[in-house]
Amino acid sequence: MDHTVNTVAIFDKLARVYQDKYMDTSLYHASFDQFCAYIPEPEARVLELACGPGNITRYLLNKRPDLKILSTDLAPQMLELARTNNPEATFRLMDCRDIGKLSEQYDALMCGFALPYLSREEVLSLIADASRILEPGGVLYLSTMEDDYSKSGMRSGSTGDSLFVYFHEAAFLAKALGDHGFQVLHMHHQPFPGGDNITDLIIIAQQQHAWHRR
């Protein structure tokens, strides 16, 4: 079953609530700094997936104002907030599962916490597509919630809305990245302070080869 319609509807409805709660990204600043450090080129082209209210976009542009960022999301209200928060960036309504349709090439790809809303098969497709749209040496940032995939299922938030959340394992992601020409440069686990024994998994990987587009 594709749970995307429900997920987008909830994020659209709760866009301002999400912004108020998650605009502060200080918990992940160290990993964002590492991501930026692996992008030495001035005015590098960065594709951001599931940008939400532009919280990560804002940090990246404060850190590296030279970056040329295309930020994407599937929730229109999230994009409106992101545009307001980042008038210097470019935004596009797009499903992160459709990046294989892009004709542009990028130097880096930021995917902050989109994986919890993608199935294992969709994650494999995203990594395969990322390998094709990234330039050789391009950098990929992935973050997700780590646990056994079998624990994936509906979860209710503080608003009472329910989303289907997928968990992914580090070993699975590392193998998928290696199979598509990526070298893992950095892998980090950290507990999410919100409780519920949630562990965040952050991976930064680099494309080692030039892959032919389909």
Residue 152 structural domain: 4-207
Contact in structure between 120 and 172 (CB atoms under 8 Å)? yes
pLDDT at 211 over 80: no
Contact in structure between 213 and 156 (CB atoms under 8 Å)? no
In a domain, 79, yes or no: yes
- What is the value of pTM for the model shown? 0.94
pLDDT of residue 2: 79
Confidence of residue 197 (pLDDT cuts 50, 70, 90): confident
Confidence of residue 163 (pLDDT cuts 50, 70, 90): very high
In a domain, 212, yes or no: no
Provide the CA 192 distance to its chain's centre, in angstroms: 17
pLDDT of residue 193: 78
- CATH number of the domain at 106, please: 3.40.50.150
pLDDT at 160 over 90: no
Determine the Cα–Cα distance for residues 148 and 129; give it in Å rounded to an integer. 24
- Using CA of residue 62, residue 65, residue 67, residue 72, what is the dihedral sign? positive
pLDDT in tens, 36-46: 999 988 999 99
